[in-house]
Amino acid sequence: MFKKDIDFNKAFKYVLMGFAVFFAIGIICTVFLGVNLDLSFKGGTRIIYSFTGDAPDDAEKVIEEALGVDVSTSISTSYTDNEQRLVISLAGTDALSNEKQQKLEDTLTTKYKDNNLSLYDSNSTDPTLAGTFFVKSIAAVLLAGILVVAYVGIRFRKIGGVSAALTAFAALFLDVFSAFFACVIFGLSLDSNFIAVLLTIFGYSLNDTIVIYDRVRENKSLFPRLDTASLVNMSVNQVKTRTLVTTITTFLAVVAIIVVAEIFALTTLRSFCIPMAVGLVSGCISSLFISSPLWVLWKTRKAK
């Protein structure tokens, strides 16, 4: 399986162009669609009501009149108990008081008395606390990135630790933005799931890169006269099957979860699995086609 050798150094520029196209699409979507931050990152209130029967088409207008603020609403269906959910979001605002929440509930139950409407869940987050949580989450991701790069630099110092660490970081950089643009393109909210996705992708992508560098280090002692480009290309070809099989099996498992999430309208799973699937693919490609050839380019130019 995957026995045919590939010239990863020649494929480098074409794969880089592929990333550039995907990022261009992501940037365009970001400009025109915007970034959807979850309430946990920007604060606000989310209230969910369960109801039966036909979906209320004018619910958003009724809610805005009752509260005096702009809201966004959505309707989802729960297949487990055969009920529908009316999700009300007030982003970036102070938490609704108990009095306002009671007023809203009274208004909706009176307006839609035939729908058996009842409160299912309510969650409020202060905007200041949400902003602090967002900053801490980004700081955690940056710290994780710095630590893994430092680890690569120390472990592979015999083959040029600094250059190996920086090219590994370049691969992680591509993976982070691939997951981010996946969220934007698919209209997913950035929440704590996204932070978990980034940290998981760090682990997968870095593991693939470390396996490659480890094989390069072994082959360098076995073939000391081999030039850097040939040495790295041979090493990547030796481990590519392992990397591809690991990524494919994990990717298929994640896709299975995505299918279940789409069938049963499990939005929480969607916000985790879709960027995870894209990040897994990006991590595999960046490890094989970006970090290693980029390291060759670094070493070659330094030698000249």
The residue among 111 and 18 whose pLDDT is bigger is 18
238-270 burial string, b = 16+ CB within 10 Å, else e?
bbbeebeebbeebbeebeebbeebeeeebeebb
Residues 88 and 210 reside in one and the same domain: no
Q: How far is CA 226 from CA 217, 229, 234, 235, in A?
A: 12, 8, 10, 12
Asked whether residue 282 is domain-assigned, the answer is yes
Report the chain's mean pLDDT, rounded to a whole number.
83
Residues 162 and 50 reside in one and the same domain: no
At residue 157, the pLDDT reads: 81
> What secondary structure does DSSP assign to 26-63, as a single string?
HHHHHHHH---B-HHHH-EEEEEEEE-SS--TTHHHHH
Residues 108 and 61 reside in one and the same domain: yes
Residues 133 and 236 reside in one and the same domain: yes
Domain end position, chosen among 102, 125, 148: 125
First to last CA, the chain: 38
Residues 179 and 277 reside in one and the same domain: yes
Distance CA 132, CA 140 (A): 12
**Given the structure tokens 């035939």, which residue do they identify?**
114
* pTM to 2 decimal places: 0.83
Residue 158 lies in domain: 8-35+129-303
Residues 98 and 164 reside in one and the same domain: no
Distance CA 304, CA 291 (A): 20
Structural contact between residues 40 and 117, judged by C-beta atoms closer than 8 angstroms = no
The residue among 268 and 17 whose pLDDT is bigger is 17
Residues 234 and 290 reside in one and the same domain: yes
Asked whether residue 58 is domain-assigned, the answer is yes
Asked whether residue 212 is domain-assigned, the answer is yes
Asked whether residue 3 is domain-assigned, the answer is no
Sequence-ordered list of residues with C-beta below 8 angstroms from that of 80, at least 6 positions apart, any chain: 264
Domain end position, chosen among 78, 104, 125: 125
Residues 16 and 66 reside in one and the same domain: no
- Total number of domains constituting the chain: 2
- What average pLDDT does this structure show over 79-93? 69
Domain end position, chosen among 84, 100, 125: 125
Number of CB atoms found within 10 A of residue 185's CB: 18
- What average pLDDT does this structure show over 39-53? 80
Residues 137 and 216 reside in one and the same domain: yes
CATH of residue 296: 1.20.1640.10
Asked whether residue 261 is domain-assigned, the answer is yes
The predicted-structure confidence for 121-174, as pLDDT tens digits, reads as follows 787 777 777 778 778 888 888 888 788 778 888 888 877 777 888 888 888 889
Residues 268 and 152 reside in one and the same domain: yes
Q: Given 3-state DSSP classes, what are the helix, strand and coil percentages for the chain, each rounded to the nearest 5? A: 70, 10, 15
Q: Tell me, what DSSP letter sits at residue 190?
A: B
Statement: residue 198 has pLDDT above 60: yes
The residue among 250 and 153 whose pLDDT is bigger is 250
Asked whether residue 176 is domain-assigned, the answer is yes
Distance CA 46, CA 55 (A): 19
The predicted-structure confidence for 252-302, as pLDDT tens digits, reads as follows 999 999 998 888 777 778 889 999 999 999 999 998 999 888 988 888 887
Residues 115 and 228 reside in one and the same domain: no
CATH of residue 69: 3.30.70.380
Asked whether residue 238 is domain-assigned, the answer is yes
Asked whether residue 223 is domain-assigned, the answer is yes
Residues 31 and 150 reside in one and the same domain: yes
